[in-house]
Structure 1
Amino acid sequence: MLSTLISPGAGSGGIRVGGHDLADDPQAIRAAIGVTGQFSAVDGLITGEENMLLMADLHHLSRREGRRVAAELLERFDLVDAAKKPASTYSGGMKRRLDIAMTLVGSPRIIFLDEPTTGLDPRSRHTMWGIIRDLVSDGEGSAEELKRIVPGGHVKLRFTDPDAYRSAASALQEVTRDDETLSLQIPSDGSQRELRSILDWLDSADIEADELTVHTPDLDDVFFALTGSGVPARNNQPKEAVR
């Protein structure tokens, strides 16, 4: 639906892709995205280079620009030696690389990848994920950078000694108390510097926490935050724990 291949149903109002409304401006969305399906869309009857030039024609690139873009992408995806050969002779990994290269011809802002490593052997799968990581590094941010923009990260301290719990709760600022479990939540981005600061403070105050856990937002949190859907109820299980 987000790639405009099927029509949005009821209740899909307000969905935007690349800044464009899905219902009102699907053509602008198509101009901004690229789609690599689960199964290769490579035409096996023509060469890899001809597949690339076909995509350049579909994107209305000039002949000169199309050849330049095709040559750059064939080199980037290590397909230069096979460029003049029929795509039907390519291995599964080569076809997949060509498929993604074809998707990039129009320099899309957003790329939809549907199981890009389906059917690949372990070596080809490793190579493909390397290519995808490179694409991400050229984009709007890594997974870790996305997680940092979502609020909700915190350090949780749990005590068994009520006196230690009360001392920590009264001394620490911006802390959320849970008197039933003798636990404190301190807002934190989970960085090593902040964690060290908390541990140093506990040492200087001669307060010992029985358990310390670090919670950082995951990509589910990012999705719900960016789509405005609200974070689903969960058990607040930490993504990383430090004793």
Structure 2
Amino acid sequence: MFVNIIDTTGKMVIDLCNRAGQLGIFFYESLETLFTTKLKTKKVFYQMSYIGVGSIWVIILIGVTVGAVLAVQAYYGLHKFGAERFIGPIVFISMVREFGPVFTAIMVIGRAGSAITAEIGTMRITEQIDALQTLCINVKQYLIVPRILASTIILPFLSIFCSLLGIVAGYFMSVYVLNINPEMYTEAIKESVVFSDITSGLIKAIFFGLLLSLVSTYKGYTTSGGAKGVGISTTQSVVLANIIIFIADYILSTLMF
């Protein structure tokens, strides 16, 4: 039994390393394509519109609700100690450094990332990708790079938008519902927030945009097994992308604090 556990664990580790290596090669080839071939600018802008504009309403909902909940939770925690003035900095820093980038990435994964995997996966199983390769079309230049680049560019803007909505919602909740002095609220933010809080959130958003699009395109590109395989790849894409986002968030937070 002990030997079986070791054997199973070893196979899982080897499989994980193999998949990580394949993903790394896929990223390297996509990066090489970006710098060695002509960029499909129209496709990049189309994907930016699809990922960005299509996700606006979800981002609005998430930003407002998270900001309001943060303000309420901070109030009930700090009110016991008479430290309500710190609600503003807590909401601001939490949204900019953490919740803005992370929740934006999660929403984009669920909406756009899954669609990217399903679209490319369908093209793979219906042999459309094989047809493009037969016509000597660079598939990574045509399908992969525009999506990765678009996601990497647009996610910081979505993250900023989400963070701003959360900060505004937190302000209104604090001032008009919890009766916090507005001047005290804003002054505490000015005293506590530094520029690195903003830049760290932007850096996270850039990395998250790159990672989620890389996973989504990779899982779609390597889809097999017919229509059932598309569903499996899409599910795996969403789960894997979320796991990678949380791991990356931990690493980046540790490095930037």
**Shared fold per TM-score greater than 0.5:** no
Using structure 2 for the length normalisation, give the TM-score. Answer: 0.26
Q: Which is higher, the Rg of structure 1 or of structure 2?
A: 1
Q: Normalized per residue, which structure has more helix?
A: 2
Q: Normalized per residue, which structure has more strand?
A: 1
